[in-house]
Chain A
Amino acid sequence: MTQIALNTLSREAEDITAAYTAAGGDAAVLHNHGLSSLVISGNKVLSANATEGIVFEKKETEHGVDIKLTIKKGYKIPLPVHLCFGIVPKDGLQDIKMDFVAEEDSAVELIAHCTFPNAEKVIHKMDAKMLIGKNASLKYTETHFHGPHGGIQVLPKAHIRIEEGGSYYTNFSLISGRVGYLEFDYSVDAEKDSICEMVSKVYGKADDKIKILERISLNGENARSVIKSRLAITDNAESVFRGITEGHAPGARGHVDCMEVIQGNAKAEAIPVVRVDNPLAKVTHEAAIGCVDKKEVETLMARGLEEDEAIDIIVKGMLA
């Protein structure tokens, strides 16, 4: 590698670290060799560190990185694994393919920060295949940090399979900066005695477009799931939420809970779907779209806040 390339690389590392910090990440985490972490800027792996029980395999591709991340059988990783994805320049395509396996009886928490602070023409694609093995557990938090321009497409797509007794908790949040265009598509197959909890929180502004599709198929006995979605949209933003839960086995329990608040000219649509073909399964749903609760607003106004400040606090609370 030439000197120039190295310089470029280190500046890129600095940029993404700065963006990561701005997004709420702790940069020290990425340099701590006692912690596992992976930093990817555009299609470059800037750093990768795996502790015992974790195997990272990565391959840089034309527009992204193919990652295989395995948590070895029986390993309960004590500290969270930090992932950082992003593109610092104003344009670019980042196409991440992720193959994740939590082997039998393993447990891990992944914390991902996705930062696109200057995006004007950026596409961030993520195709993930996740396997949660027997009695294994994955907690996955993905927090996005976007800039003010809205020129970004975020296209995360994942298929998750939870084997017997496994658990999967995920929390997707895109509340700082403009959403741009989001097309979120997660689908889960849940086997016997597994647990799945999917939470998504998005704040859309200006002409942001939000499409969320979450599908859980409870295939095994006593599989349980919750889909919880909190969307706030304002200005001319639009959102469509589809939460589908299917109960196919005895004792399967699922719940879909979607709450959306709209302001300005925003348009929201919520379609919770419950499908049950086993009489001993039970799936419920609730969906509410409305403006911010009047009593909450008036209470904060009666404590001296302006209406706008009150609404802001209520919306942020809902998305917290």
Chain B
Amino acid sequence: MRGVNLELGDREIHSIIGANGAGKSTLAYTLMGLQGYEHEEGSIIFNGEDLAALSITERARKGITLAWQEPARFEGLKVRDYLAIGARGNGGITEEEIKEALRKVDLKPEKYINREVGEALSGGERKRIELASIITMKPKLAILDEPDSGIDVVSLKEIVALIQTLKENGSSVLVITHREEIAAASDKASLMCEGMILRSGDPLEISEFFKNRCIPCDNRVSPPKVK
């Protein structure tokens, strides 16, 4: 990654769009501080504080969290326990709050609360549980890596509503997406290409630019080409 300039306001929904392999997930991992994704130059400032020296745990405790594009499978871990983990930092969670989070991602609480976050859930179900775990954590910054992938088209509206809810509850949301519907519901959007943020601005304009004027990049060698 290089040339990544990104500013995210308080309670702002900011979409990152761009082609496959553009570096969107890499950006998310770098912000979260995952192993192997430490940034070499530049800085990541959160609420005035440089995150460089902070571990994933420390970043999470400052209020940053990440929903993976492909969520992990946890053998033997119950949905209720998984959803409670993120809430530990806020003094715990009630059964009713767990159920409410499941309803928000359109999963029937009585059907899912005691199931395992493992093999037996479908890909889409695991994505929804991943999002529910973000809701229960009440983060200051939620980084969502393609919350729409693996989710049926009908449910896209719910994902949009969920992102709005996160915002209303006080979160800023950085959402990586290939869906115009989600980009359109954002306050701002940025286009990523070859590890660079090419431009940021009004979401509709950025989507439009990406669709019509961005020539597929010739990976690695040349700088991004624009008509």
Partners in one complex: yes
Q: Which of B57, B86, B133 contacts A306 (CB 8 A)?
A: B57
Closest to A201 in B: B76
Per the bound structure, the CA–CA distance linking A319 and B74 in Å amounts to: 11
A319 to B133, CA, bound (A): 23
Contact of B57 (CB < 8 Å), options: A293, A305, A316: A305
A29 to chain B, nearest CB (A): 24
Question: Hey, which chain A residues are within 8 Å of B68, CB to CB?
Answer: 295, 299
In the complex, per-residue mask of B47-80: 1 if CB is within 8 Å of any chain A CB, else 0:
0000000011101110011101001111111000
Q: Annotate B2-43 by CB proximity to A: 1 below 8 A, 0 otherwise.
A: 000000000000000000000000000000101100000000
Asked if B85 is at the interface of the complex by the 8 Å CB criterion, the answer is yes
The CA-CA distance from A318 to B116 in the complex, in Å, is: 11
Contact with A303, one of B34, B55, B60, B76 (Cβ below 8 angstroms): B60
Q: For the complex, is A320 an interface residue (Cβ under 8 Å from B)?
A: yes
Chain A: number of interface residues, binned into ranges = 20 to 34
B137 at the binding interface (Cβ < 8 Å)? yes
* Bound Cα distance from A303 to B59, whole angstroms: 9
Do residues A295 and B72 form an inter-chain contact, with CB atoms below 8 A?
yes
Chain B binding site: helix, strand, loop or mixed by DSSP?
mixed
Known A-B contacts A303-B65, A306-B57; A298 and B85 likewise in contact (beta carbons under 8 Å): no
Q: How far is the CA of A316 from the CA of B81 in the complex (A)?
A: 12
B89 touches A304 (CB 8 A): yes
Contact B56 A317 (CB under 8 A): no
Roughly how many angstroms separate A313 CA and B77 CA in the complex, as a whole number? Answer: 8
Residue of B nearest to A319 (CB): B76
| Interchain CB contact under 8 A, A301 and B55 | yes
Tell me the chain A residues, 279-316 only, with Cβ under 8 Å from chain B: 293-296, 298-307, 313-314, 316
* Chain B nearest CB, measured from A41 CB (Å): 32
Give the complex CA separation of A294 and B55 in angstroms: 15
User: Which residues in B have their C-beta under 8 angstroms from that of A313?
Assistant: 77, 81, 85
Q: CA separation between A319 and B75, bound complex, in Å?
A: 9
B60 and A304 contact, CB distance less than 8 A? yes
User: What is the minimal beta-carbon distance from A105 to any residue of chain B, in angstroms?
Assistant: 32
* B contact residues, total (Cβ < 8 Å): 28
How many whole Å from A313's CB to the nearest CB in chain B?
A: 7
Answer whether A302 and B85 are a contact pair too, CB < 8 Å, given A295-B68, A307-B57, A317-B77.
no
In-complex Cβ contact of B56 among A293, A302, A318 (8 A)? A302
Chain B residues positioned under 8 Å from A300 (CB to CB): 85
Whether B60 pairs with A302 at a CB distance below 8 angstroms is yes
Q: Beta-carbon contacts of B81-110 to A below 8 Å, as 1s and 0s?
A: 100011011000000000000000000000
B88 touches A304 (CB 8 A): yes
Q: Contact at B35–A304, with CB atoms within 8 Å?
A: no
**Interchain CA distance A316-B75 in the complex, whole Å:** 9
A317, A318, A320: most-surrounded residue (chain B CB, <10 A): A317
For residue A306, which residues in chain B have a CB less than 8 angstroms away from its CB? 57
Shortest distance from the beta carbon of B186 to any chain A beta carbon, whole Å: 22
Question: Which of A300, A301, A303, A316 gathers the greatest number of chain B CB atoms within 10 Å?
Answer: A303
CB-CB under 8 A from B85, the residues of chain A are: 300, 303-305, 313
Bound complex: CA A260 to CA B60 (Å): 29
A297 CB, nearest partner CB in chain B, Å: 9
A143 to B88, CA, bound (A): 31
CB-based contact A304/B77 at 8 Å: no
Nearest chain A CB to B2 CB, angstrom units: 24
A240 to B57, CA, bound (A): 34
Please judge, given known A-B contacts A293-B72, A296-B72, whether A303 and B77 are in contact too, CB under 8 Å.
no
With contact pairs A302-B56, A302-B60, A304-B137 given, residues A294 and B74 touching in the complex (Cβ less than 8 Å): no
Q: B66 contacts which of A302, A307, A318 (Cβ < 8 Å)?
A: A302
Residues of B within 8 A of A (CB): 32, 34-35, 55-57, 59-61, 64-66, 68, 71-77, 81, 85-86, 88-89, 116, 133, 137
Having A301-B57, A319-B76, one finds 6 other A-B pairs with CB under 8 Å, namely: A300-B85, A302-B60, A302-B65, A304-B60, A304-B65, A317-B74
Write 13 A-B pairs (CB below 8 A) sorted by A numbering.
Answer: A293-B72, A294-B35, A295-B68, A299-B71, A302-B66, A303-B60, A303-B85, A303-B86, A304-B65, A304-B137, A305-B85, A317-B75, A317-B76
Nearest 9 pairs of A and B residues by beta carbon: A317-B76, A320-B76, A303-B86, A301-B56, A317-B77, A304-B60, A295-B72, A296-B72, A304-B89
